[in-house]
Structure 1
Amino acid sequence: MGLNVDWGVVLAFAGGLVLLYILGKIFVKPARFILKFILNGVAGGVLLWLINLIGNQYGFSIVINPITALIAGFLGIPGVILLLLLGPILNI
């Protein structure tokens, strides 16, 4: 009445778990980075649009061109604040 254990199956199962753990570590961090990057870009774009929407009523706007879009996309909300601060200086 002994328990017959196939150690090859146990080792394969353990190896699969280790491989799954390693793949999770490899792919989760870049996915978080990409998600954060996308959310930053969306937040920057929405804020840039809102500033232009509200600012047009007061004669103020930030020109949306490839450079300002990249700054707002890469840096997000801090990028839009940077554009607000540098706008009068650089005439953007």
Structure 2
Amino acid sequence: MGELNMEGQYLIYGLAGIILLFLMIRLLKWPIKILINGIIGVVILYLANFIIANLGLIGINVNFSLAINPITALIAGFFGVPGVIVLIIIRLFL
């Protein structure tokens, strides 16, 4: 009476698999979000450096660039354009 038939075992394995998949997705959601924000930050920093480098073409002499490293990429990724503006201000005054 205590034994499950084959269909019952498949049902238990399926439910356990769904719960395990749900837990894995919940655990991986945060690191994937940080990775995506970092990639977006690198793109924003690259575009900012490209724009800064090309200001010399219109007569504005600017002699600096923003470093692209994990910290600045995450700042730019999390805060977007305001984060890049803060990085530029920090680079100019420090």
**What is the TM-score of this pair, normalised by structure 1?**
0.67
Contact 1:40 1:74 survives alignment (8 Å): yes
Q: Which runs of 5+ in 1 are unaligned?
A: none
* Secondary structure of 1:81 counterpart: helix
Closer, same or farther in 2 for the Cα pair 1:75/1:58, shift >3 Å?
Answer: farther
- State the percentage of identical aligned residues: 18
- Aligned residue identity for 1:35: I
Tell me which residue corresponds to 1:13: 14
In the alignment, the residues of structure 2 paired with residue 88 and residue 19 of structure 1 have an alpha-carbon distance, to the nearest angstrom, of 50
Closer, same or farther in 2 for the Cα pair 1:72/1:58, shift >3 Å?
Answer: farther
RMSD: 2.6
In the alignment, the residues of structure 2 paired with residue 10 and residue 87 of structure 1 have an alpha-carbon distance, to the nearest angstrom, of 60
Q: Which runs of 5+ in 2 are unaligned?
A: none
Tell me which residue corresponds to 2:48: 47
